[in-house]
Structure 1
Amino acid sequence: MTHRGAPRGGDPGGGVTVVSDGLSDGPAWAVRMLDSLRDAAPGASTVALAVRRGPERALLTTGDTAFRGGAPADADTRFEIGSLTKTFTALLLAEMVARGELAYDDPISRFLPRAAAPHLDGTRITLLHLATHTSGLPRLPPGFLRTAALAWFSNPYADFSPAALRRALARTRPRAAPGTRVRYSNLGVGLLGELLTRAAHGAGDANFALLLADRVLEPLGLTRTSCATDQPQATGYWHGRPRPAWQIPALPAAGAGRSSARDLLTTLDALLDPTAPPTTVPRTLRTALVDVTRPRIALPRTGRRIALIWNIRPRPDHDLHHHSGGTRGFTTFAGFSPQANVALTALTNTSPTFTDTFIQRAYLELCALVRRGRPGEMSRERA
């Protein structure tokens, strides 16, 4: 297997190279980790890994951006990150709260026309409910499955327009009282993005992608991260078949993001230490980097918690924050532990399946980083 490193400008020397605090050769533990992840991604042409272990930072890739006609992948190759987009939406929410533009307990009715608001029977959904999956809203908009059926294995969201979302919201009825149950909802976080753009720009020409770039992505220096579908990226595969670029025009905040291994590790570094980003990062974004990881919900019996979007698994001497994402052609994972000063993100260009182990493997490698300091050794802990 050929591993390609991550220095900007390519890898003229070939072999394994790593951006790792000045080291020119990749540490064996990182190479073993990449091998393990590649084995868990059958059908992919590339896997990218970015990892922090204390002071070490390693970025490695293997393969090409496509099976036919692809270029060598590197740490700046863009992957669709699916639901990992939600973690950036959470940062945007926290940044706007820090600015005083809105509050976590604001009801969604503050930003929606009455005709577009879900039927609540006297209860109210807040922005915090949307960001913790406790709104009671269904996973998908009413009627979405009917319209998406023909494109289910390629681009099911592409023809679901913002106008269709507004009509669907008017027909939506919560499945549980807000704040009483955790129910993962693409609709809820997609709606959150719509409300944030309305809060920032009014009900006129709002654009979530531009708002996210202005408030979060550009200040953090994430040059390969965006919601754009017309920029170069790896080709995604589903059961060996190339997939078109993922489009989700009505719910971009829930899953339209693209990013690279380098950018995602930069983000995780900022979450590990909000004082680390350059001094040019606004105070409101630094506040958001702290606020976004604070536990908000405790799940009964399991001990697990939910921050703003991030899942948290408490351990006796550390917490693990993690989230994953998938589209019809890509699978991604990101996780970190502030107490252990470790972080890991893994990306591959093949779709999640029922038998897929890529996310599980990435999670277990994160556990190994924390528990043993031997990243290549698999933990018995189940994700």
Structure 2
Amino acid sequence: MHSGDRLSNSAPSPRRSPPCCSRPWPRAANSRWTTRWSATSPATGGPPPSAPARRSGCCTWPPTPRGSPDCRPGCGPAPPAFFSNPYAAFGDEQLRSGLTRTTVHHRPGSYFAYSNYGVGLLGRLLAETGNGTYAELLADRVCRPLGLRSATTGRDTPGRATGHRRGRPLPPWHIPGLPGAGAVRAGGADLLHYLRAHLSPGGGELGAALRDVQRPRLRLLRSADQLALVWNHRRLDGRDLLFHSGATRGFTAFVGFCPQSATAVAALANCGPALDGRFVQGGYEVLKRLSHGRG
């Protein structure tokens, strides 16, 4: 949860959700670690207001029903995979089994918390509604129309970076049962194309969807910040900042944009998160400066 003009520095374990902070800035002397920053300036637009709601959990993440577990029932990662590939064994069978034990504890829309399980389940439901897999739906409905060439859910894509934790290489995360929870991989250029599409959505169903995900749904208690779909929304000095951060054990990312100034930032690092949140906070500070015309 962000406090004042800072972002979260709490890091839930993979048993709950991917952490929402970052590791300290990678040292330039360590050739195994790389950091990529990108910024762009396309077009303008702005989201409407929203209603208040109760909150719970790590609120820098998208709102999901509190009835959805933070991770998934019955799938605690085996100790050897806890710091490397904690969801690799969670497939269709585990998903079906977990669904039978999932209960809703609050009226929908009245209580929320971040849930990998809930977001991943939404991805599965969308894919099944579209009569395909999540990878096929993503490619057909989002990646190809937006011209995203590197974005994929594949594990071993050519030229991919290697993630690290404490200087040691890690395998890419594999999430067969819930790919919508964090199986998408993309490079910095594609992330900027994706952000540019949010700044200038265009027409058609995809354009309408890009505008809709920016609309705040929930306002945090004791805060002026709001939550849209996936995007966090903050009103700062008359401008709207929409942003999201995420991480696996070996990678950290921050993306954000400001409709009024037509600016966007994508920051990527192939090292895992740490409690101080310096990398993600740095990405946010860059976005804030650019939104006010300061490079």
* TM-score category, normalised to shorter length: 0.7 to 0.9
- Residues 267-282 of structure 1: matches in 2 within 5 Å? 267-275=194-202
* 2:266 counterpart of 1:370: no
Report the 3-state secondary structure (helix = DSSP H, G, I; strand = E; otherwise coil) of the residue aligned with 1:271.
helix
Aligned to 1:301: 222
Whether the 8 Å contact between 1:131 and 1:192 is mirrored in structure 2 is: no
Shift in Å, 1:350? 0.3
Greater relative contact order (CA < 8 Å, ≥ 6 in sequence): 2
Between Structure 1 and Structure 2, whose CA radius of gyration is higher? 1
Q: Which amino acid aligns with 2:184?
A: G
Give the match for residue 359 of structure 1. Answer: 280
Q: 2-side partners of 1:153 and 1:177: how far apart?
A: 35
User: In the alignment, which residue of structure 2 is the partner of 1:41?
Assistant: 26
TM-score under structure 2 normalisation? 0.80
With structure 1 as the length reference, what TM-score do the two structures score?
0.62
Alignment equivalent of 1:337, drawn from 258, 264, 267: 258
- Pick the aligned partner of 1:234 from 161, 165, 181: 161
Mind listing any 5+ residue stretches in structure 1 that lack a counterpart?
A: 1-36, 56-129, 276-281, 376-383
Gapped runs of 5+ residues in structure 2? 1-21, 44-60
Distance 2:229 2:24 in 1: 32
Cα shift at 1:173: 2.3
Secondary structure, counterpart of 2:128 in structure 1: helix
RMSD value, Cα: 2.2
Provide the secondary structure at the position in 1 that maps to 2:65.
Answer: coil
Contact 1:138 1:174 in 2 (8 A): no
Is residue 133–residue 182 contact of structure 1 (8 Å, CA) maintained in 2? yes
After superposition, where does 1:1-383 map in structure 2 within 5 Å? 40-42=25-27, 45-53=33-41, 132-145=63-76, 147-201=77-131, 206-232=132-158, 233-275=160-202, 283-371=204-292, 373-375=293-295
* Greater percentage in helix: 1
Q: Give secondary structure in 1 for the equivalent of 2:241.
A: strand
Q: Is the 8 A contact 2:232 2:242 kept in 1?
A: yes
- Which residue in the other structure is 1:125 paired with? none
Please name the residue that 2:54 is paired with: none
Amino acid at match of 1:229: R
Q: 1:49–1:345: 8 Å Cα contact kept in structure 2?
A: yes
The number of residues matched between the two structures is 253
Identity of aligned residues (%): 44
The one-letter amino acid of 2:150's match is: R
Check the 8 A contact 2:23/2:278 in 1, yes or no.
Answer: no
SS of the residue corresponding to residue 96 of structure 2 reads helix
The answer to whether the Cα contact below 8 Å between 2:23 and 2:273 also exists between their aligned partners in 1 is: no
Q: CA–CA distance in 2 between the matches of 1:362 and 1:254?
A: 22
